[in-house]
Amino acid sequence: EAGVAQSPRYKIIEKRQSVAFWCNPISGHATLYWYQQILGQGPKLLIQFQNNGVVDDSQLPKDRFSAERLKGVDSTLKIQPAKLEDSAVYLCASSLDLAGTLTGELFFGEGSRLTVL
């Protein structure tokens, strides 16, 4: 079974530029999560989708971050304009359904490492 796919793996941009990250979850997984992990910290949930609907985006900085999951499968996370403090690894995860938060069965991708100069 293929895992969660993310791209690009690495991205270096200058502040005020824009960047987009792509995620393809495990086939059949209805719930998709984007987490931000700053060096030395634990992952922080940015947004959670159930199919193509948003379940929680309370910690998403909406003035610069946006995310979509139009067909309930792939998802894109965009940052525009980027700030220095956005330097982090952006982890995409998926679970079969919302019960993933009960079982902890979140499957993470390898992450996209962003460096903002």
Partner 1 sequence: QKEVEQNSGPLSVPEGAIASLNCTYSDRGSQSFFWYRQYSGKSPELIMFIYSNGDKEDGRFTAQLNKASQYVSLLIRDSQPSDSATYLCALGGGADGLTFGKGTHLIIQP
In our burial notation (b when 16+ CB lie closer than 10 A, e otherwise), range 52-72 reads eeeeebeebeeeebbbebeee
| Of 21-29, 63-71, 78-86, 109-117: span binding partner 1 (CB under 8 A) | 109-117
88 lines the binding site for partner 1 (CB under 8 A): no
Question: Strand pairing partners for 12?
Answer: 115
| Shortest distance (Å) from residue 74 CB to partner 1 | 18
101 lines the binding site for partner 1 (CB under 8 A): yes
Q: Are 92 and 23 within 8 A, CB to CB?
A: yes
Q: Are 2 and 109 within 8 A, CB to CB?
A: no
Looking at 44, 51, 54, 62, which residue binds partner 1 (CB under 8 A)?
44
Looking at 16, 56, 85, 117, which residue binds partner 1 (CB under 8 A)?
56
Residues 6+ apart with CB under 8 A from 102: none
| Of 11-19, 39-47, 66-74, 77-85: span binding partner 1 (CB under 8 A) | 39-47
91 lines the binding site for partner 1 (CB under 8 A): yes
| Shortest distance (Å) from residue 16 CB to partner 1 | 28
**What Cα–Cα distance (Å) separates residue 88 from each residue in 22, 41, 47, 97, 116?**
15, 10, 16, 27, 9
Looking at 45, 72, 76, 87, which residue binds partner 1 (CB under 8 A)?
45
